[in-house]
Amino acid sequence: MRKRRRGEPDERASQPGSCARKPLISGNWKMHKNHLEAIAFIQKLSYALSADDHEHVDVSVHPPFTGLRSAQVVLDTDKLPILLGAQNCHFEADGAFTGEVSPSMLAKLDVRLVVVGHSERRQLFGETDDDVNRKARAVLAAGMTPIVAVGETLEQRNSHQTESVVAAQVAAALAGVSSQQVAGLVVAYEPIWAIGTGKVSSPGDAQQVCRLIRDQVGEMFGQEPAEGVRIQYGGSVKPVNASALMAEPDIDGALVGGASLNADDFARIVRYRLSE
């Protein structure tokens, strides 16, 4: 098979109905690493990963906005097959929105994936389901792929609301999206109680919610597009637990926080298949 160049879509992963969803391992750096540290990280990561790794797994890094241009230059100059991602964006194309960054600005920097609706955005910055929906649609309209993040709090989990909360978040985030667009998108299931706590969901529990997410997408758009959606698990993913999570049939990748800040740890997560 011809090797994809950076910037080309992954045909296997985005084909509706394709059972061969190519895994996507994404590093969400949150508010860590300046632009110089971003360059050093990417160089180290690319050295640690082989062509075979990239053949099996799509890899994205999501620096803060200030690191995107430097990351783009190093990825482009060295022709590295690592996808560039952002952590957030505004839903408007331009205008008087002090401090915000638009999807088209990100697309111009070769950003391919944008996380929308991360629980930290929802909880700390007051983002609503409606905001998340507008962002997801704006990212798609700018030709990029949203990583739509959903997940329940510990309180919701303990009161057996996980399924209803997550299904409602997925339904709200994807309202008004076309079934063609849905087939290529990414949903990240991140239980809030597992983020940064070291308390990873059991693979079986995570699989159950990821299956529910696929079923919810299927109900809205049909089974075929739903089978093309990549669903990531996020929340205390580490080199030691990645392969067990990735063995589940509806878990197609990971959205990694803390462990994505260390290039060796992140590379070991990308290479999860070698530790099985």
Residues that bind ligand 13P (CB under 6 A): 28, 118, 190, 195-196, 234-237, 255-259
Q: Residues 58, 61, 67, CA angle at the centre, nearest 5°?
A: 150
Using the CB atoms, write b or e for 79-97: b if 16+ within 10 Å: ebbbbbbbbbbbbeeeeee
Tell me the C-alpha distance between 231 and 48, whole Å: 25
When the beta carbons of 253 and 257 are compared against ligand 13P, the nearer one is 257
When the beta carbons of 225 and 258 are compared against ligand 13P, the nearer one is 258
When the beta carbons of 25 and 82 are compared against ligand 13P, the nearer one is 25
CB of 259 to ligand 13P, least distance (A): 6
Tell me the C-alpha distance between 228 and 17, whole Å: 5
> Do 235 and 194 contact (CB within 8 A), yes or no?
yes
Q: Which of 107, 91, 206 is nearest to 150 (CA)?
A: 206
When the beta carbons of 46 and 241 are compared against ligand 13P, the nearer one is 241
- 28: which DSSP letter? E
User: What length is written for the chain?
Assistant: 276
Q: What are phi and psi of 186, to 5 degrees?
A: -125, 135
48: number of Cβ within 10 Å = 15
CB of 180 to ligand 13P, least distance (A): 27
CB of 76 to ligand 13P, least distance (A): 25
Catalytic site residue from 54, 90, 118, 120: 118
Catalytic site residue from 120, 127, 152, 190: 190
Q: Reply yes or no on whether 190 is catalytic.
A: yes
CB of 185 to ligand 13P, least distance (A): 16
Q: Which residues are catalytic?
A: 118, 190
